[in-house]
Structure 1
Amino acid sequence: MIYPTTVAAAEAMFTAAEADGVIITLVSGYRSFATQAQIHDRFVADLGLPAAEAVSAPPGHSEHQTGWAMDIGDGSGACSFTTCFADQPAATWAAANAHRFGFIVRYPAGSEQITGYSYEPWHLRFVGVEAAADIAARRITLEDFLEAPR
Protein backbone atom coordinates (compact mmCIF):
# COMPACT_ATOMS: atom_id res chain seq x y z
CA MET A 1 0.00 0.00 0.00
CA ILE A 2 1.21 3.50 -0.72
CA TYR A 3 1.16 5.62 2.43
CA PRO A 4 -1.50 8.34 2.75
CA THR A 5 1.30 10.88 3.37
CA THR A 6 2.86 9.95 0.03
CA VAL A 7 -0.50 10.13 -1.74
CA ALA A 8 -1.33 13.56 -0.29
CA ALA A 9 2.08 14.94 -1.22
CA ALA A 10 1.83 13.50 -4.73
CA GLU A 11 -1.63 14.95 -5.24
CA ALA A 12 -0.42 18.39 -4.11
CA MET A 13 2.59 18.12 -6.41
CA PHE A 14 0.50 17.05 -9.42
CA THR A 15 -1.92 19.93 -8.78
CA ALA A 16 0.94 22.46 -8.55
CA ALA A 17 2.47 21.12 -11.77
CA GLU A 18 -0.88 21.38 -13.53
CA ALA A 19 -1.20 25.00 -12.36
CA ASP A 20 2.15 25.58 -14.10
CA GLY A 21 0.81 23.93 -17.26
CA VAL A 22 2.60 20.61 -16.76
CA ILE A 23 0.86 17.25 -16.56
CA ILE A 24 2.40 14.68 -14.22
CA THR A 25 0.76 11.28 -13.89
CA LEU A 26 1.30 8.34 -11.59
CA VAL A 27 2.60 5.42 -13.63
CA SER A 28 3.52 3.00 -10.85
CA GLY A 29 3.11 3.17 -7.09
CA TYR A 30 3.08 0.36 -4.57
CA ARG A 31 4.14 -3.08 -5.81
CA SER A 32 3.58 -6.33 -4.01
CA PHE A 33 6.38 -8.85 -3.57
CA ALA A 34 4.85 -10.98 -6.35
CA THR A 35 4.59 -8.07 -8.78
CA GLN A 36 8.16 -6.99 -8.09
CA ALA A 37 9.32 -10.58 -8.60
CA GLN A 38 7.63 -10.68 -12.02
CA ILE A 39 9.19 -7.35 -13.05
CA HIS A 40 12.64 -8.35 -11.81
CA ASP A 41 12.43 -11.78 -13.43
CA ARG A 42 11.53 -10.18 -16.77
CA PHE A 43 14.59 -7.92 -16.59
CA VAL A 44 16.81 -10.86 -15.65
CA ALA A 45 15.49 -12.85 -18.63
CA ASP A 46 16.04 -9.91 -20.99
CA LEU A 47 19.35 -8.53 -19.68
CA GLY A 48 20.97 -11.12 -17.45
CA LEU A 49 21.31 -10.78 -13.69
CA PRO A 50 24.09 -8.15 -13.34
CA ALA A 51 22.51 -5.73 -15.83
CA ALA A 52 19.01 -6.37 -14.49
CA GLU A 53 20.00 -5.43 -10.97
CA ALA A 54 21.18 -2.01 -12.17
CA VAL A 55 17.64 -1.24 -13.32
CA SER A 56 15.34 -3.40 -11.19
CA ALA A 57 15.51 -4.23 -7.50
CA PRO A 58 14.99 -7.83 -6.49
CA PRO A 59 11.71 -8.55 -4.70
CA GLY A 60 11.91 -7.48 -1.08
CA HIS A 61 14.36 -4.66 -1.95
CA SER A 62 12.29 -2.36 -4.16
CA GLU A 63 11.39 1.10 -2.92
CA HIS A 64 7.99 0.49 -4.52
CA GLN A 65 7.35 -2.04 -1.77
CA THR A 66 7.90 0.59 0.94
CA GLY A 67 4.87 2.76 0.17
CA TRP A 68 7.14 5.81 -0.23
CA ALA A 69 8.06 5.61 -3.95
CA MET A 70 6.38 6.14 -7.29
CA ASP A 71 7.16 6.36 -10.96
CA ILE A 72 5.79 9.34 -12.85
CA GLY A 73 4.92 10.03 -16.46
CA ASP A 74 3.28 12.75 -18.47
CA GLY A 75 0.24 10.87 -19.73
CA SER A 76 1.58 10.62 -23.28
CA GLY A 77 3.86 7.64 -22.77
CA ALA A 78 6.70 9.61 -24.37
CA CYS A 79 10.01 8.20 -23.20
CA SER A 80 8.38 6.15 -20.44
CA PHE A 81 11.00 4.37 -18.35
CA THR A 82 13.85 5.61 -20.53
CA THR A 83 16.38 8.32 -19.78
CA CYS A 84 14.95 10.57 -22.51
CA PHE A 85 12.07 11.13 -20.06
CA ALA A 86 14.45 13.58 -18.34
CA ASP A 87 13.79 16.02 -21.20
CA GLN A 88 10.00 15.83 -20.91
CA PRO A 89 8.22 18.71 -19.12
CA ALA A 90 6.95 16.39 -16.36
CA ALA A 91 10.48 15.29 -15.49
CA THR A 92 12.07 18.74 -15.70
CA TRP A 93 9.30 20.19 -13.53
CA ALA A 94 9.66 17.36 -10.99
CA ALA A 95 13.45 17.71 -10.89
CA ALA A 96 13.09 21.41 -10.12
CA ASN A 97 10.10 21.27 -7.78
CA ALA A 98 9.50 17.83 -6.26
CA HIS A 99 11.48 18.73 -3.13
CA ARG A 100 8.83 21.34 -2.26
CA PHE A 101 6.43 18.42 -1.75
CA GLY A 102 8.87 16.10 0.01
CA PHE A 103 10.05 14.08 -3.00
CA ILE A 104 13.48 13.50 -4.49
CA VAL A 105 14.56 12.00 -7.79
CA ARG A 106 15.85 8.90 -6.11
CA TYR A 107 18.37 7.73 -8.70
CA PRO A 108 19.96 10.90 -10.12
CA ALA A 109 22.23 11.02 -13.15
CA GLY A 110 25.87 10.40 -12.38
CA SER A 111 25.15 8.73 -9.03
CA GLU A 112 25.04 5.12 -10.15
CA GLN A 113 28.13 4.20 -8.11
CA ILE A 114 26.46 5.59 -4.98
CA THR A 115 22.88 4.39 -5.43
CA GLY A 116 23.62 1.14 -7.23
CA TYR A 117 20.97 1.91 -9.86
CA SER A 118 20.93 3.50 -13.27
CA TYR A 119 19.58 7.03 -13.68
CA GLU A 120 15.78 7.06 -13.38
CA PRO A 121 14.31 10.54 -13.87
CA TRP A 122 10.82 9.07 -13.40
CA HIS A 123 11.40 7.45 -9.98
CA LEU A 124 10.49 9.71 -7.06
CA ARG A 125 10.87 8.88 -3.38
CA PHE A 126 9.04 10.64 -0.56
CA VAL A 127 11.44 11.63 2.23
CA GLY A 128 9.60 14.62 3.71
CA VAL A 129 9.89 18.29 2.84
CA GLU A 130 12.80 19.12 5.14
CA ALA A 131 14.98 16.22 3.99
CA ALA A 132 14.03 16.69 0.32
CA ALA A 133 14.88 20.40 0.47
CA ASP A 134 18.27 19.62 2.03
CA ILE A 135 19.03 16.89 -0.50
CA ALA A 136 18.03 19.18 -3.38
CA ALA A 137 19.98 22.17 -2.06
CA ARG A 138 23.15 20.13 -1.58
CA ARG A 139 22.59 18.09 -4.79
CA ILE A 140 23.32 14.84 -3.02
CA THR A 141 21.81 11.37 -3.00
CA LEU A 142 19.70 9.86 -0.25
CA GLU A 143 22.70 7.68 0.62
CA ASP A 144 24.86 10.78 1.11
CA PHE A 145 22.14 12.42 3.20
CA LEU A 146 21.76 9.37 5.45
CA GLU A 147 25.53 9.11 5.98
CA ALA A 148 26.13 12.83 6.65
CA PRO A 149 26.53 13.89 10.27
CA ARG A 150 23.85 16.26 11.46
Structure 2
Amino acid sequence: MSIADEFRTRNFSIYGQWLGILAMILCLALGIANIFTFDPIIIIFCALAIASAFVILFVEVPLLLRICPTSEKFDSFIRKISTNYLRAATYAIMAVVQFLSTIRFNTSLIAAGVFLSLAGLCYLFAAVRGQDFVNSKTLGGQGIAQMVV
Protein backbone atom coordinates (compact mmCIF):
# COMPACT_ATOMS: atom_id res chain seq x y z
CA MET A 1 0.00 0.00 0.00
CA SER A 2 1.48 3.33 -1.05
CA ILE A 3 1.14 6.64 0.75
CA ALA A 4 -1.54 7.74 -1.69
CA ASP A 5 -3.53 4.56 -0.97
CA GLU A 6 -3.23 5.23 2.76
CA PHE A 7 -4.58 8.76 2.32
CA ARG A 8 -7.51 7.45 0.25
CA THR A 9 -8.69 5.32 3.18
CA ARG A 10 -10.00 8.53 4.82
CA ASN A 11 -8.78 7.31 8.18
CA PHE A 12 -7.96 10.39 10.22
CA SER A 13 -5.33 8.54 12.25
CA ILE A 14 -3.19 8.32 9.09
CA TYR A 15 -3.59 12.07 8.58
CA GLY A 16 -2.72 12.65 12.23
CA GLN A 17 0.35 10.48 11.96
CA TRP A 18 1.71 12.36 8.94
CA LEU A 19 0.85 15.74 10.48
CA GLY A 20 2.65 14.53 13.59
CA ILE A 21 5.77 13.84 11.52
CA LEU A 22 5.58 17.38 10.09
CA ALA A 23 5.09 18.74 13.61
CA MET A 24 8.11 16.76 14.77
CA ILE A 25 10.28 18.29 12.05
CA LEU A 26 9.00 21.77 12.92
CA CYS A 27 9.52 21.26 16.66
CA LEU A 28 13.10 20.18 16.12
CA ALA A 29 13.98 22.87 13.57
CA LEU A 30 12.23 25.74 15.33
CA GLY A 31 13.47 24.63 18.73
CA ILE A 32 17.04 24.78 17.48
CA ALA A 33 16.49 28.04 15.59
CA ASN A 34 14.87 29.89 18.48
CA ILE A 35 17.33 28.71 21.11
CA PHE A 36 19.70 31.44 19.91
CA THR A 37 17.42 34.21 21.17
CA PHE A 38 19.29 33.88 24.47
CA ASP A 39 16.13 34.57 26.45
CA PRO A 40 15.91 32.12 29.39
CA ILE A 41 12.16 31.56 29.09
CA ILE A 42 12.30 31.00 25.34
CA ILE A 43 15.22 28.61 25.79
CA ILE A 44 13.07 26.51 28.13
CA PHE A 45 10.29 26.34 25.53
CA CYS A 46 12.85 25.50 22.85
CA ALA A 47 14.11 22.61 24.97
CA LEU A 48 10.52 21.43 25.44
CA ALA A 49 9.96 21.63 21.66
CA ILE A 50 13.07 19.54 21.01
CA ALA A 51 11.98 17.01 23.65
CA SER A 52 8.51 16.91 22.06
CA ALA A 53 10.12 16.14 18.71
CA PHE A 54 11.82 13.07 20.12
CA VAL A 55 8.66 11.88 21.87
CA ILE A 56 6.73 12.26 18.60
CA LEU A 57 9.46 10.38 16.75
CA PHE A 58 9.13 7.35 19.00
CA VAL A 59 5.32 7.54 19.14
CA GLU A 60 4.82 7.81 15.39
CA VAL A 61 7.59 5.49 14.19
CA PRO A 62 7.12 2.29 16.23
CA LEU A 63 10.02 0.62 14.44
CA LEU A 64 12.43 2.82 16.43
CA LEU A 65 11.38 1.25 19.74
CA ARG A 66 12.77 -2.03 18.46
CA ILE A 67 15.95 -0.57 16.99
CA CYS A 68 17.05 2.11 19.47
CA PRO A 69 18.32 1.13 22.90
CA THR A 70 15.94 2.83 25.31
CA SER A 71 14.94 2.11 28.87
CA GLU A 72 11.97 -0.05 29.84
CA LYS A 73 10.27 2.92 31.54
CA PHE A 74 10.50 5.00 28.37
CA ASP A 75 9.28 2.11 26.20
CA SER A 76 6.28 1.48 28.44
CA PHE A 77 5.45 5.21 28.51
CA ILE A 78 5.53 5.41 24.70
CA ARG A 79 3.51 2.20 24.30
CA LYS A 80 0.75 3.63 26.51
CA ILE A 81 0.11 6.30 23.87
CA SER A 82 -1.56 3.87 21.52
CA THR A 83 -5.20 4.93 21.14
CA ASN A 84 -6.53 7.85 19.17
CA TYR A 85 -7.80 9.59 22.32
CA LEU A 86 -4.45 9.34 24.09
CA ARG A 87 -2.61 10.57 21.01
CA ALA A 88 -5.01 13.51 20.70
CA ALA A 89 -4.45 14.37 24.37
CA THR A 90 -0.67 14.08 24.01
CA TYR A 91 -0.63 16.38 21.00
CA ALA A 92 -2.97 18.83 22.74
CA ILE A 93 -0.64 19.04 25.74
CA MET A 94 2.39 19.60 23.51
CA ALA A 95 0.49 22.25 21.51
CA VAL A 96 -0.54 24.12 24.65
CA VAL A 97 3.08 24.14 25.81
CA GLN A 98 4.19 25.65 22.51
CA PHE A 99 1.40 28.24 22.57
CA LEU A 100 2.48 29.17 26.10
CA SER A 101 5.82 30.20 24.60
CA THR A 102 4.12 33.48 23.66
CA ILE A 103 4.20 34.49 27.35
CA ARG A 104 7.48 36.32 26.81
CA PHE A 105 7.12 37.36 23.14
CA ASN A 106 5.98 35.79 19.89
CA THR A 107 8.38 33.41 18.19
CA SER A 108 8.11 30.96 15.35
CA LEU A 109 7.38 28.21 17.90
CA ILE A 110 3.74 29.11 17.27
CA ALA A 111 4.00 27.26 13.94
CA ALA A 112 4.96 24.09 15.81
CA GLY A 113 1.96 24.62 18.08
CA VAL A 114 -0.35 24.95 15.07
CA PHE A 115 0.86 21.69 13.51
CA LEU A 116 0.69 19.91 16.87
CA SER A 117 -2.91 21.13 17.18
CA LEU A 118 -3.78 19.91 13.68
CA ALA A 119 -2.33 16.47 14.39
CA GLY A 120 -4.24 16.31 17.68
CA LEU A 121 -7.46 17.31 15.94
CA CYS A 122 -7.02 14.57 13.34
CA TYR A 123 -6.58 11.98 16.08
CA LEU A 124 -9.61 13.39 17.89
CA PHE A 125 -11.71 13.17 14.70
CA ALA A 126 -10.57 9.57 14.24
CA ALA A 127 -11.55 8.74 17.83
CA VAL A 128 -14.93 10.45 17.61
CA ARG A 129 -15.72 8.74 14.30
CA GLY A 130 -14.80 5.38 15.86
CA GLN A 131 -11.95 4.72 13.46
CA ASP A 132 -9.30 2.29 14.64
CA PHE A 133 -5.76 3.55 14.90
CA VAL A 134 -3.82 2.52 11.82
CA ASN A 135 -0.04 2.85 11.55
CA SER A 136 1.28 3.96 8.21
CA LYS A 137 3.23 1.15 6.59
CA THR A 138 5.74 3.71 5.36
CA LEU A 139 6.56 4.74 8.94
CA GLY A 140 7.06 1.23 10.29
CA GLY A 141 3.53 -0.07 10.66
CA GLN A 142 2.35 -3.58 9.92
CA GLY A 143 4.84 -5.63 7.95
CA ILE A 144 8.00 -3.58 8.40
CA ALA A 145 8.22 -3.90 12.19
CA GLN A 146 7.96 -7.68 11.97
CA MET A 147 10.99 -7.84 9.66
CA VAL A 148 13.28 -6.42 12.33
CA VAL A 149 14.12 -8.96 15.01
Indicate the structure with greater helix content. 2
Q: Decide: shared fold, TM above 0.5.
A: no
With normalisation by structure 2, the TM-score equals: 0.28
Pick the structure with greater CA Rg: 2
TM-score, normalized by length of structure 1? Answer: 0.28
| Structure whose residues are more often strand by fraction | 1
Report 1 or 2 for greater relative contact order, CA contacts < 8 Å, sequence distance ≥ 6. Answer: 2
